Amino acid sequence: MSLVDEPSTPVCTVAVRALCEFVARQGDLDLRFTPAPTALQGQEGHALVARRRGPGHEAEVSLSGDFRGLRVRGRADGYDAGRNELEEVKTFRGRVEAIAWNHQALHWAQVKVYGWLMCQARGLTSITLTLVYFDVMAQTEHPFSESFDALTLQSFFESLCGRYLHWAQGEARHRHQRDAALESLDFPQKPFRPGQRDMAAGVYRACVQSRPLLVQAPTGIGKTLGTVYPALRAMPVRGTDKLFFLTAKTPGRRVALEALQRVRATRHGFPLRVLELVARDKACEHKDKACHGQSCPLAQGFYDRLPAAREAAAQAQWLDQAALRDIARAHQVCPYYLGHDMARWADVVVGDYNYYFDRSAMLYALTAESAWRVSVLVDEAHNLYSRACAMYSADLSQAEALETRSLVPASIRPRVDELLNQWQLLLEARRRAAPDSAWQVLDELPEAWIRTLQRFNSAVGEYLNDHPTDAHGALLPLYFRTLSFAGLAAELGDHSLCELDISTSRPALAAAAPSPQLALGDPLFDPASTGPGMLTLRNIVPAPFLAPRLKAADAMILFSATLNPSDYYIDLLGLPDGTQRLDIPSVFRAEQLEVRVVPLSTRRDDRAASLDTLVQALGEQARRAPGNYMAFFSSFDYMEMVLRAVQARWPELPVWSQARQMDEESRQRWLQRFDTDGHGVGFAVLGGVFSEGVDLPGRRLVGAFIATLGLPQFDDINRTISERMQARFGRGHDYTYVFPGLQKVVQAAGRVIRTETDTGTVLLMDERYLERRYRVLLPDWWRVRPAGPPGSAQ
């Protein structure tokens, strides 16, 4: 919906599909998986139907009509003037009888709206409307036709428009009030902190000028408020529809919501709708129930109760997780999907990266579908690279197919067997080519392997269509993984590695009876002789996947305390050449942080020899300046080795360590040890949950020991990645090892100084920190010096 202000009544424009989905949708929320055509299949299906029509057929007919200031427009799929017949084509997979009644009702609502618009445009008194369901797999048409007089269609059209117009006029008033309030918005925190004004000015210019911006800004200047405020102020100037604030972790969402609360507190009743999106498992009220009306009471009749819930949410305006849950409970609707609906009507949406950058990202899809003008703020943007790589990676294992085989329906088992045959052929070919190597990068996947995977996906899709109410157990998780893998395999390029891994260990696999056409001992299917295999599509450069998402945003602001060097992030994320860069100087002074290098080697082969030196330096620092410290290591094994040595050498020193598996409650208990009056050392793994996003100001943390350079392992995978990075960017070693490692080091050390009054010490416990190529990547305000020998005065 777009809004245009006129002197009197707001004029609103809405697409036919959006109008019908808003007003005519009814019945249950039903998320039982039913395979749907891909976007490409849908386009090809529409084109094929159009080609089958005669010479008098008009395709993609643009239509529009008005009702009391509301303009409705869209494209009818086809019209034949000779037969006076309008067609709307809907593609599907499976059985046409399986299309839910409420989906059919929604489709008919669209056809009838197009029918009236055509009658109005051509001066018709009646028309034949045909809803054509096109099976993309069988390429067959299933038409349903009905004749209507123009007055009946006009009445239907006006009834829909009348119900929508009330909401649209309210939205137009809200937009006008919102923009007026934002135009006069004062900065909610005065005075500006040092560096905060420069950051806000840079963000404002980027939003108004519609340019991407990469901001490195230090801890302590108020980055969140320094981005949210200027982005909001730019919205009425630029005509921005929505602001998305995207975070990597839950604490980032909380900080963003606190900043937005401060903005809204500048004026009573500030007209700004703020929505928090959370993961489904965090929002679900009935985790023991499935998401459909026959199981969950909040899904039953969801669309019938949604309008009242939507109205209440729009009036409430502040829609964090707790507020949205209260509204959903009052109206007996699902809070998670109420949140999804409100994403269309919120001014600011706060959520995880995946809501915009993932392959099936909701906010990106809505932006493209609705042609919104959006500004996107990416918090802690140094995390986006690793998160994006994970979003566009997938793996499949031979063991998973074997374990699932006995659990899938009998009609699917032959397709699983075909897949297992291809696994066996792939693994045998690999063993013949390189019998001594367990890991290999493939230039491409065998065509037969891909075809077999596609046949498996098609067979499962048809089965799910034919059995929508069955409990699918192990089949559905495997199907989701094979679909994801097939989709990424179709886009395989030099941005990703295709890896085949043959482990020497053989995990116990579930016994599986062979299908009739495959006997045990058959060379193509012999579980006893089959070593485990893993295929991985590992994305290492997400830029090609992120490019359309970056382009869809009117303004893209990425900010963090660690975005050095900027070229590394620009190259890997695919930011355009014109990306602006802003580096805000630190507000901290060198006198606040003592940074010393302990010259020892933390390389794997040298750890035993350097252990005594490391332990002595750690204990002496903790004894010399009592308080709470964190000690970071490259792995759990190394951490535990040092921990044992510290306990033996310094038994009076309190220590506690990160566990390999920790839930939220355990993490909080670990952090609570850092009391203002406490003393001791918390041992953790660099790059883990405690090395960033942890705020322990003042005496809660007085120092950190970093016993690693943070470099990834020098294994076959990273050597291959380095070669790809070298070929693509000319800096393979830096992009694979140095930049990711030092970024983690700076993040971990950044836990020590959180405010302008904090003081502390960081010991960089590796001799390589004395080398210039590493020290240039440390913060400019640090004054790094070598530490004296253990036992000497510092």
Q: Which of 562, 582, 594 is nearest to 747 (CA)?
A: 562
Neighbours of 444 (CB within 10 A): 10
Residue 332 contacts by C-beta under 8 Å, 6 or more apart in sequence? 297, 298, 305
Burial 531-540 (b: 16+ CB within 10 A, else e): bbbbbbbbbb
Strand 348-352 versus strand 274-276 pairing type: parallel
Q: Which of 573, 690, 605 is nearest to 249 (CA)?
A: 690
Report the C-alpha gap between 27 and 30 in whole angstroms.
9
Single-letter code of the amino acid located at 662? M
Locate tokens 């802690």: which residue? 380
Residue 175 contacts by C-beta under 8 Å, 6 or more apart in sequence? 3
Mean per-residue pLDDT pooled into runs of 10, the chain (794 residues)? 43 89 94 76 93 93 94 96 96 86 95 98 98 93 97 98 93 96 93 92 97 93 94 98 95 93 92 96 90 90 96 97 97 97 97 96 94 96 96 94 90 94 90 82 92 92 75 82 94 95 49 30 39 88 97 97 95 95 94 96 96 97 97 97 98 96 92 94 94 89 96 93 96 96 94 92 97 94 82 54
Asked if residue 674 lies in contact with residue 665, where contact means CB atoms within 8 angstroms, the answer is no
Q: How many Å separate Cα 85 from the centre of its chain?
A: 44
Which pLDDT belongs to residue 794?
53
Helix 16-23 to helix 150-183 angle (10° resolution) is 90
Q: Which of 248, 214, 332, 72 is nearest to 574 (CA)?
A: 214
0.85 cut: is pTM over it?
A: yes
Locate tokens 């793994």: which residue? 685
Q: How many Å separate Cα 184 from the centre of its chain?
A: 34
Q: How many Å separate Cα 210 from the centre of its chain?
A: 23
